[in-house]
Structure 1
């Protein structure tokens, strides 16, 4: 004869254990994945918010990278111009030395030629991301140099990049097509005052870089026949070049600072968005670990309860045999 015993206690204990096992599996998944809301099924609202915020974070990261490239271009041009200023300063010192009585101007010209060669090397080596702002080889000079300098929100809420433009004619130091478009190769009027107070236009240029259309006037160089008045003219030209170059470098420095501010701001915004996403969907490991321990204890208690009930039921069966 077969006896069937139905125990409400056993049924309730099994139901409770199933719920505990389900909760334990959910908590284990949260611990393993690191997400409290991993899919839309977990929480459609939070998942939707987090997805939009992740998209914003990715857009900001792209802008941050573009800003980094732009900053590198500006910083490279600025660093080279800063070096050119130092080298022009050395050229000026050499010319001042040439005014001293008894100096060998031919030997000084050797130093002058080396310094001019350094200028040309500095300009030609200033290249990053395929661009050299200081050297122009094209027949037509670009209107401006553009870099990513910021971002705004579009009408639909999307991020849009903004550019910063810098006049190209201010950054070109050497122009291989037309020498007069390059600061270091163009003709400069010394405008030296004569003894009677009148000004005489004397044209000089610093570098001869082999431009298709060369500069007019006299190249700045020394020899045994160079007069003190000519040296004064050359110094006046170098002073003019230094003034213009310093002003351009200052403009690039301001541009670099502006981009640097946007780079820092973009990084901060991206971090804040990532923190916001984490608050919405990430697992709180401390809380979840405590909950996991509690569920493990409940599982053990549920198993023990079912074991006790099964033992009691088996004793009843023995009595009925």
Structure 2
């Protein structure tokens, strides 16, 4: 039999406990809606929060990998651009050497062709020396290879450098380049070999560029997958939380009414003394 007491109202205490529980759940739901996360800190779920932080760190570190790979792309692109210029110059050098091999030329014409050839040869070396991006070059022969970041663990993607200067193409830097029609004719074969060497080296750089592009695409997809995985761990289902919010708000209102009714029950004791 329930005790009629003005000191202890069991019904009110139970109603208050239920209302406090509802208010606590409502606070959690409102926080999830405000932040968009079901796990916002270690108090919400320590294990899931720790995993999400680790994956977030990995994803963030991949930004540095992408930056490094993009620098690699730009460095190769500059070298390829220089290579295109160099192959064009070599073609013009061959044209000049062929023209100079004509034994019917007079001395003035021969010297003019030699001067043009020498100028073109100097431009080849300048193009190779100036093929730099951010101070680094894959074409000037000063490095044998260049390594860019490939993953968050510090592993690298190595690109083999290609010397596109005169020495790397097997061309002499002697002055004059040729002194007679016969030596100009001999120079033609040297230029042909240089063109073949240059195109092979450019092909190698092109292959490396494709490799960098492919790996950069992979890193982008990997980062997206990591971000999506973190979202699956910590993001709140806002549609579900919205429905839950409506339910808890209704439950809260009913709890307040129940507490009010329970508090009024003690007033019935007064009727015993009338």
TM-score class, shorter: 0.7 to 0.9
Cα 1:307–1:108 shift into 2, 3 Å: farther
1:171 alignment partner in structure 2:
163
Which residue of 282, 288, 299 maps to 2:235?
282
Q: Match of 2:249? A: 296
Per-residue deviation at 1:316? 4.4
**Equivalent position SS for 1:146:** strand
RMSD: 3.4
Would the alpha carbon gap of residues 20 and 74 (structure 1) be closer, same or farther in structure 2, given more than 3 Å must change?
Answer: same
Q: Is the 2:147–2:157 Cα contact (8 Å) retained in structure 1?
A: yes
Which residue of 2 is the match for residue 231 of structure 1? 184
Does residue 122 (structure 1) correspond to residue 147 (structure 2)? The answer is no
Q: C-alpha distance in 2, partners of 1:97/1:298?
A: 97
Higher helix share: 2
Q: CA deviation at 1:134?
A: 2.7
Which of the pair is proportionally richer in strand? 1
Q: Distance in 2 between matches of 1:258 and 1:147?
A: 13
Does 1:159 pair with 2:144?
A: no
Deviations 1:235-262, CA, capped at 9 Å, x for gaps: 2221111111111111111112222222
Change (3 A) 1:4 1:235: same
Structure 2 runs not aligned, ≥5 long:
none
1:67 aligns with 2:72: no
Cα drift, residue 165 of structure 1: 5.0
How many angstroms does 1:145 deviate by? 1.5
**Match runs of 1:303-314 below 5 Å:** 303-307=256-260, 312-313=264-265
SS at match of 2:192: helix
Cα deviation, residue 132, structure 1? 2.5
Once the two structures are TM-superposed, the CA of residue 18 in structure 1 deviates from its matched residue by 0.9
Cα separation, 2, equivalents of 1:301 and 1:31: 23
**Residue number in structure 2 paired with 1:183:** 168
Rounded to whole Å, the distance in 2 between the matches of 1:145 and 1:27 is: 56
Which residue, out of 88, 91, 94, partners 1:92?
A: 94
Q: TM-score, normalised by structure 2?
A: 0.78
Return closer, same or farther for 1:86/1:287 CA change in 2, 3 Å cut-off.
farther
